[in-house]
Amino acid sequence: MKSIKLAVVQFTPAFKRKEENLSRIQELISNLEADIIVLPELCTTGYFFLSRDETSELAEPISGPTCQFFQKISKQSNAVVVAGFIEKKGNKIFNSCLIAQPGKKTPRVYRKTHLFYKEPFCFDPGDTGFFVVQDTVRDVNIGPMICYDWRFPESARVLTLLGADLIVCPSNLITDAWRTVMPARAIENKVYVAVANRAGTEQIKDEELLFKGNSTIYDYDGIAVYTAGASGDEVMVTKIFPSLTRDKSFNEFNDVLKDRRPKHYKPLA
Amino acid sequence: MKSIKLAVVQFTPAFKRKEENLSRIQELISNLEADIIVLPELCTTGYFFLSRDETSELAEPISGPTCQFFQKISKQSNAVVVAGFIEKKGNKIFNSCLIAQPGKKTPRVYRKTHLFYKEPFCFDPGDTGFFVVQDTVRDVNIGPMICYDWRFPESARVLTLLGADLIVCPSNLITDAWRTVMPARAIENKVYVAVANRAGTEQIKDEELLFKGNSTIYDYDGIAVYTAGASGDEVMVTKIFPSLTRDKSFNEFNDVLKDRRPKHYKPLA
């Protein structure tokens, strides 16, 4: 039974200071011994934008320097790297996360499906839908979702049906409800869940957002095996056993996927 | 804003002793002042059957004495009564729950969609699918599911999409994972959830099942407002405000149903 090393990085970006953030991220992860490294949503730019003008200015295509930076880190550290960034694609702007794999030239990109709070002022709704990145070298199937996607049971369920062993969730969480729900996502789907949240605050005009940290790695029984502090940067590394999630049975008779009865789920899709 | 009184009854049936159980249930609930009374799965017969011969012997059609008993209680107490029983329909046997409404002649019946453990030896898979009972007198929309249906996010989600304010879940739970997951069902759907579990043990041959009690009423924020003990019979009554669940927003910009993006959920149904 093969284990791999999963690293979840809690990181507090400096608002709009992309180069500074990339440099601090490099310090945090360049010597990390891990097979997968997960960073927060929008970790290179900060979060609390209020207009497309602001996000446009920081947005980059997949071929841009931010993706190149993470692709290089991925190559150097021989790890899959997952990180949130502002993506420009034609005249659209997405709240995206890249999945950089060693040996690949460009990363895969997931575009956030469910937009939260004031994000619709700054981003287009994601158009990639959910997909799973199969990493055959490390024998792990990675299903990305971003922050508010957590609240929709459909997100993690679709990723599981597509074969995810590990759901990675770069986040900028400002409420606590996710801490009640994420263990359920792990249990109902029998998958690992890695939430890389950010910490710190951002104030725009009269409104301050407090990002709640507490990044957590859940095993497939919904147990929080590592939880970071509520504030501060932190790197958590743990072993996971992706192949153990592929047998979806949990007793001699029941299986969380085989027992599904999709003909009774018509209103969902 | 209208409130109604919800009663959840934790009850330990005597195995196969239907008349004794009905008589004890009558004592427990006949003087209850409530608008809705929820009893456990298979509360009139006990649970741990191993063959269709056993369940056949105790099964009844909707026109049978068990349904008549609960319909009468419903009329006398002017309350909606939800209770699990073994249903016979043609040559099929279902793990069902009845929803008896005052003023109706026969109850509605929900047939358990997802069968647990050794139930396939004794029951047919439910064929009703999920539906919601609209009680216009009490202004509450009740969505029934039974026990193991909890593990499938699809169950509570479909009930919510069909308009449930309150999910009732008659149960015979023998694990603890549901206590982690049920608050998520409430939060992700913004609905009340009432779990009427049984307590006690049943031993068949070498195998003993311990039913874990801890029946719980969750508000639509996932807070357990009442939890019964791990053993013993118990009646919990609380006020709920069904109409508050109909606004699915949880901040100025987000709504747990309007924010869904079904075109990305195709693998589900």
Q: Which candidate in A54, A67, A97, A112 is catalytic?
A: A112
pLDDT recorded at residue B227: 98
In a domain, A187, yes or no: yes
> Do the domain assignments include residue A78?
yes
Q: Which residues of chain A are within 8 Å of residue B117 when distances are taken between CB atoms? A: 251, 253-254
Residue pair B158/A267 in contact (Cβ under 8 Å)? The answer is yes
Q: Nearest Cβ partner of B264 from A113, A161, A261?
A: A113
For chain B, the average pLDDT equals 97
Picking from B181, B253, B268, the nearest residue to A117 by CB comes out as B253
Which element (helix H / strand E) includes A153?
Answer: helix A153-161
Amino acid B30: pLDDT = 84
**AA letter at B29:** I
A261 vs B113, B118, B184: nearest CB: B113
Instruction: Tell me the pairing of strands A234-240 and B4-10.
Output: unpaired
Q: Which pLDDT does position A31 carry in this prediction? A: 87
Exposure of A1 in the CB half-sphere (CA atoms within 13 A): 9
**Does ipTM top 0.95?**
yes
Distance from the B20 Cα atom to the nearest Cα atom in chain A, whole angstroms: 32
Q: Which of A154, A181, A259 sits opposite B268 (nearest CB)?
A: A154
CB contact under 8 A, B256 and A151: yes
A77 within a domain of the structure (yes/no): yes
- Cβ distance A58 to A103 under 8 Å? no
Whether residue A260 and residue B154 make contact (CB cut-off 8 A), yes or no, is yes
Can you give the residue range of the structural domain that contains A82? 4-264
What residues of A are in contact with residue B154 (Cβ under 8 Å)? Answer: 153, 157, 260, 264-265, 268
pLDDT digits (tens, 9 = 90+) for B115-169: 999 999 999 999 999 999 999 999 999 999 999 999 999 999 999 999 999 999 9
pLDDT of residue B86: 98
**Does B59 fall in a domain?**
yes
Q: Is the pTM of this model over 0.95?
A: yes
Residue B167 with chain A: CB contacts under 8 Å:
none
CB contact under 8 A, A120 and B253: yes
Residue A43 located in a structural domain: yes
Best mutation target, B131, B132, B150, B180, to test chain A (most A CBs within 10 A) = B180
Residue numbers in B near A162 (CB within 8 A): 267
Enumerate residue ranges in chain A where pLDDT < 50: none
pLDDT of B141: 98
Does the residue A269 lie in any domain? no
CB atoms A181 and B162 under 8 Å: no
Compute the average pLDDT of residues B71-98: 97
A217 belongs to a structural domain:
yes
Task: Spot the catalytic one: A97, A147, A169, A190.
Answer: A147
Q: Which two tokens stand for residue A125?
A: 């709704």
Whether the CA torsion B141, B145, B146, B148 is positive or negative: it is negative
The alpha helices in chain B, defined as continuous H runs, are: 18-29, 52-58, 65-77, 153-161, 177-189
Residue-wise pLDDT tens digits, A175-225: 999 999 999 999 999 999 999 999 999 999 999 999 999 999 999 999 999
Q: How many alpha carbons lie under 13 Å from residue A138 in its C-beta half-sphere?
A: 27
> What pLDDT is attached to residue B31?
87
CATH number of the domain where residue A40 is located: 3.60.110.10
**In Å, how far are A205, B170, B248 from A210, measured between CA atoms?**
14, 40, 24
Residues from B contacting A (CB-CB < 8 Å) are 113-118, 120, 125, 129-130, 148, 151-154, 157-158, 161-162, 177, 180-181, 183-185, 187-188, 221-222, 251, 253-254, 256, 259-269
Q: Exactly one of A41, A60, A202, A234 is catalytic; which is it?
A: A41
Considering CB atoms only, which of A116, A259, A268 is closest to B114? Answer: A259
Residue B1, pLDDT > 90, answer no
- Catalytic: A147? yes
Residues B223-263 pLDDT 10s: 999 999 999 999 999 999 999 999 999 999 999 999 999 99
Question: What does the alpha-carbon distance between residue A66 and residue B134 come to, in Å, rounded to a whole number?
Answer: 53
Q: Would B269 be classed as within a structural domain?
A: no
Strands A140-144 and B133-135: unpaired
Q: Which residues contact A196 (CB under 8 A, 6 or more apart)?
A: A8, A9, A10, A11, A38, A39, A40, A82, A168, A169, A170, A171, A215
A138-150 core/surface letters (b: 16 or more CB in 10 A; e: else): bebbbbbbbbbbb
Q: What does the pLDDT look like over B10-34, one tens digit per residue?
A: 999 999 999 999 999 999 998 899 9
> Would you say residue B202 has pLDDT above 90?
yes
Which pair of tokens denotes residue B97?
């729950």
Provide the edge-to-edge strand list for the sheet that holds A92-100: A108-111, A92-100, A80-89, A36-38, A4-10, A234-240
Full DSSP string of A15-32: TT-HHHHHHHHHHHHTT-
Confidence of residue B60 (pLDDT cuts 50, 70, 90): very high
Task: Specify the pLDDT at position A30.
Answer: 84
DSSP-derived secondary structure for B196-213? E--EEEEEETTEEEEEE-
User: Based on the structure, what is the number of domains in chain B?
Assistant: 1
pLDDT tens digits for range B180-197 = 999 999 999 999 999 999
